[in-house]
Every structure is written in structure tokens, then in C-alpha cells.
Chains A and B, each alone.
Chain A
């Protein structure tokens, strides 16, 4: 049920309400899962998918049947790992081996874990993890290898992170640390998904040769999440903004949230946005390698949401005050657009890059770099979807690219047109001259003295003589005999 404030909001944002209705009514899933043919354990897996993910659940459930179950299981495994890593009530001595051995539990019948704190929101998934194990065992061997491999990498990455977090407060010191963190949380997932897509034949195998592209996909999403969640993370005593970045703008991390440092905080967040924006062209490049519509939707929606989020947080002081999010209506609009084709997605990227560019200010130390990052997005889109074809320029310009006969014909036409204009001009002038001659002739016949008028003009007297009779007398007397006139 929508809340009263929602109703008021959408009353004044009819466009967004339209987007929501459009998405709900007109969006046709590419594929639909058929629960009647699913085992009870698989159905339970989908229930957990719904419970643990609001944003990914629907796109996963529309995936190509070949990938539907592997991706769902993949997601639940990662969610399981995450639930262990996030839980501060689990001691490091217990947490570390759990994370590092997680891949072994995947094939251990009936494995489950109830050691999470009672407040951990996804603890039930681990309590009933045996259903995931059951389904994991049923998927294709080639997919299993990939899922296990990624679980090993991710588990170890998380364990390393948990270990260093125990020791020091500032885990993310350099930008390299930050990208490493994002690599473990999202880059590795991107790698796993890419391998699944290629293995199933739904994406271009070339993507495997460009691991930097799937890495960019993960980095772009995760960095955007980190930027957006700064307030929430700070309230929960976590910080992921690298010290290398924030220390350029404020002395202490806490200072970012003080109203007197508003400008410095905005400059800090825009430097973070810059780091993320630089990944955007590679994300589009990656999306160009996907062959299946459902996989494309699955991969594209989070990316377009991310660039819209970057626009939302860019130079927005609310970022440091509360948790900000794109509105539901806005999200529906982006989802409708993102589920079409690559050109549409490129259009969305270009649109948000321009909006970010509009808010960019020369007072920001990274002004030009941000402008360059936005320019590179535009340039990339232009490179895959040129706004004009070189041939159009040739055809549009005079002699280039035309046969000699065409040129001759055009020349003749042009000549004809030129004479038309000349004849028309002549006709107009002749008519005017005739009328003028007629009028002058009539005036002369009626006794107009042109000779006097001309003489007066010669003397520089352009105005008719004043009513003063003396002067008139002078003029007339200069013409002697014609006094009686």
C-alpha cells in the first residue's frame, strides 16, 4: 500500500507515476519461470531470492532458462558469504575459516549455519542453506566449477578484508585499496557472471579476453554504492571512501559531515564520482558483447541505475545528511528504457553524463577531469552509434561523390534557376520604370516645373521653401519672366 506521502509525491510528479504504470503494465518479461515444474527446494531458493534482494530478484527471474537457476544459486551463495562477513557478532577466529571454506560447504549435504546474530537480516538464508546446497548439486558441472571458483576468491577476499579491518580503522587508504575492495565485492562477481554468460553461449566469448571490462562493470556498480551509502556507512562506523581522496579535502573523515565544510565535502564526493565515471565507457563496451536480451537486461539495469545514482549524488549536499535514492518512478522509467537495446542504454548514459556535466563547476578542483570523463562517455557512444555517417557529408556537399552527369545536370538546373531570377528582376524593374515614367509624364503635361525643382536640388535646398513670401519672391525673381505662373 503506498503511503500518504507517496501519493502526494506522485500527484505532483505525474511523469514518474506514468513510468511506474508503464513498467507494471507494459513490461513483458523475456522469459518467465514456471514454478509448477520446479522442485520444492528450488521454489524455496526463489523465495529467498525475493527476500534477500529487491533490485536483482525480478531481473534474475526473467533470465534465459539456461542461466536462471545458476545465477539464482550464485546470488544466494554470495548473499550467504555476505551475511557471515557483515555480522559483527561473529568473532574473527570463527569468521575467517567460515569464509575461506565456504566453497566446500556448497556440496556438503544438509549444510546450514545458525551462528548469526539474531538481528542479522538474512540469517534465515543460512539457517535453511541446505536448499541451496541441494540445488547447487543439480546444476551443470561447467557452471558448478565457475561458481565454486568465484566462491573461493570471494571468501578469501572477504576474509582478508575482515582480518585487516580488525587491526586498523582505516582499511581503505589508497585508491588502489579502494579498487581492491570493490574488486572483491563486485569485480569477482562480474568475472563469475561473465564466465556463466560465455559458457552458456549467451555472450561473446571475447569478453573473457577482456577481464578489464567485467571488472569495470563491477567497479562502476560498487563504487556508486559506496559513494551513495556514505552517510549510512558512517553511522554504522564503516568508511570506504579512500583516505587518499578525502584527505585532500578535509583533515578528518568526520569533517565531511559538518555543515561548515559543505564545499569541501562536495568536492570530495565529486572526486569519488569522477573515479566511477571513468569506468563507464568500458561498461558500455561490455554490454555490447551480450547476445541475449534477458542477459542484456540483467546486466544493463544495474548499470543504468548506477549512472542515474551518480547524477543524483553529484554535487548534492544531501548525500552527507541522509540516505538518498532515486525515486521509484524514476527507477521504473530507467528500467523500461534499459530493457530495449544497447543504443537506448547508451542514450541513458549520455543523458546522465550531460546532466552531471551541467552541474560541474570550475570551483571544483577536478572540474576539467570530470568534464573529460563525461566527454569520453559521449565519445564512446558516438564511436558505436555515430550521429552522422561520413557518406552523408560527402553526399550533402556539392561536387563530392557525384557522377559527372549529375554535376552537369545540376549545373544546368542552377543556370536555369539563375536566369529565372534575372528575368523576374527585369520584369519588376520594367514595370516600376513604366509607372514612374507615366506619373512623371502626366505631371509634366499638367505643367510641373521639373527644371526649377532640379535647380533647387543642385543648390542643396532639399526642403520646400518656407511660407515667407520674401524668399519665395527671391526664388521666383531668379527665374525672371515666369512671375505670372
Chain B
């Protein structure tokens, strides 16, 4: 490329902040700019141009892209439903508007402004949000579009647009990270869902309860490894271009039972469950159903810890092979899971 490389990152969330850190560390000569719907003062002094626009509005998006004039776009902007909303359908409209229409707008704006490469932050949920199947050692040949939960469903609608947009003028690829943990980046926010929620179980005396066998393997990814994968994807699209039009599962490639992941986090806070109670999957499912009704009647459904969805989430097997990312992107998790958990838990929770 003749022009100096300039990268626009949409969304200034947890992952985007770490992508910026990784890009600045590995390619200090690249120009960066960001795009988000929120106005954020913390970015004013960062030296990174900040464009405030709504991704669901095509005109605003194109306008921002025209100002930023990027050669590469990393589209991380998206909406992840929180705990209760994840298993419900009431936010379907919001999630498809932001994740699907937003992605289409970003693609259209990128094409209109002559962007050369487009990297999409997808999610492993595109496959694993299908509650009907187990996904051990899954690879990228698996069909998408079977997701029953709204988040994976929305990614399943958005990603095909990205991959189909791959062509001569603009190269595209999709990164599908698994469950992400980690501290906040230099400029961006931290993880406010995974580790804080698991930590909160200690205070709620929920740690002794094991749903199902506690043997089902799960994939996790330390956030800087996710950022590395994005940088590798860009480097690939700028050089060999073998990643063009492809999607990649990204994880720490250290699948462990979800239960063990939680135990490892609790241990960082010097908590070991005093005893263990195993709840069979069927009983938990029933309890989830009752809890759903109870919370629906009392109108507290957004607060529910237990639901059929969360039970299936907790007892399912979901991990990726990771071969394709290793082979094509040369991706290797630089921070191991144990180290990642240690760093993530250094942030104090109360």
C-alpha cells in the first residue's frame, strides 16, 4: 500500500482497548483512530482521533469514515447482552440492530471510503450459542446460523455479510474469540461480566454448587491474546492474504471444565469451597425453569442467576480446535490461562 497505514477501530470496549495497546506496541508507525457512539473524555488526551457517531445510522457512519479515512477497519463495535438478557429474546431487536445493521453499515461505509482491509470481531457464540448440540474440539467447518441465543444469532447474521464482502478492493476476515477475561487496557474499560460475576458467587455462598458433572470442557481467552489475533489478522491481510474471506476461532487452547475455571478464580481470592454439592443436570434444568417463571412473575427476570439457558451454558461442552488460526494466522496464545487468571484477579473486587 502506498498510503501510510491508518486503522479505524469501531467501538471502544474491552477488546478494542487491548487491540489499540497491541497495535501501538507492535506498529508504532501506524495511525490509529476510534469510533464510538459514546462521547468519551478519557480519549481526548490519548492523541488518538475520536469520532463520535452511531453505527446504526448509515449516514453518520459514512461521515465518520470519511473524516477518519482509514486504510484498515477493525469492527469491534457490538452489543453483548448481559447475564439475564443473554437467554431471553426481548432484546432481539436491539442486538440485531447494533450487531447486524451496524456491521452492514460499517461494511458499506468502508467500501465507500476505499478501505483495503476489514477485520470483524465475531464470536465463538456464532456456533456455541446453539443450545441443542455439544461442541467439543469444534473447527471452522461447522455450520453457523444454528444459534438459539440472540447474541450468537446476531453474529451469525452479521458474519456472512463480512466474509461475502471479501474481494479485490477490500479483504475481510472474522475473528471468533471464546469467553474473554482480563484487566482493562490503558484507555479502554475492563471486563465487567465474567470475573466480577464469578467473584460475586463467593459473597452469595454459591461456590459449593456444581451443576452437572463439572467435567465439560470450555474455552477461555486472555484478552491480550484476542488482541494479538486481530493484529495477526491485519498483518496477514497486508502480506500473504491467506486469511482473506476466512473466520477463525481464537482461544487460549487450554480447555478446562468451567467449574475448574471458577475454582481457579476463587482461589485467587483465597476462597476454596468448604464442601461440594452436585446438582444433576435435569434437576438444575427444572430449577432453571421454575426460576424463570418466578422471576417473570415478579418482574425481576433481568436479575436471574438461574435459568434453563444458564444451566445449558454451564453443562455444555464448548471448545475449539484452534488449528486453523495456528496454521494461517500463526496465532499462539502468548499469555497462558493460569497467568491470565492471576492478572485478571489483581483488579480488586468488593
Contact = CB atoms under 8 A, between A and B. Distances in A.
A263 B255 CA distance: 27
B217 A379 contact: yes
Interface stretch (B84-92, B140-148, B187-195): B140-148
Interface in B296-350: 319, 321, 337-338, 341
Contacts, number: 80
B286 interface: no
A379 B319 contact: yes
A368 B141 contact: no
A397 B215 contact: no
B264 A357 contact: no
Given A362-B272, A368-B338, A382-B136, A393 B146 contact: yes
The secondary-structure label for the interface of chain A is: helix
Contacts of B138: 390
A367 B264 contact: yes
A378 interface: yes
A387 interface: yes
Interface stretch (A11-19, A68-76, A369-377): A369-377
A388 interface: yes
B228 to A, nearest CB: 19
Contacts of B273: 362
A400 B145 contact: yes
B38 interface: no
A359 to B, nearest CB: 13
Contacts of A383: 137, 321
Contacts of A387: 134, 136
A376 B321 CA distance: 11
Interface string B34-66: 000000000000000000000000000000000
Contacts of A371: 256-257, 260, 264
Nearest to A381: B137
B256 A400 contact: no
B266 interface: yes
A387 B136 CA distance: 8
Nearest to B142: A390
Nearest to A358: B215
Interface in B244-289: 254-257, 260-261, 263-264, 266-267, 272-273
A398 B344 CA distance: 40
A369 B260 CA distance: 10
Given A368-B341, A372-B337, A383-B321, A394 B256 contact: no
Given A394-B143, A400-B143, 8 more contacts: A362-B273, A367-B263, A368-B260, A372-B256, A379-B137, A393-B142, A400-B146, A401-B143
- 7 A-B pairs with least C-beta separation: A382-B137, A368-B264, A362-B263, A371-B260, A372-B254, A375-B255, A371-B256
Interface of B: 130, 132-134, 136-139, 141-143, 145-146, 215, 217, 254-257, 260-261, 263-264, 266-267, 272-273, 319, 321, 337-338, 341
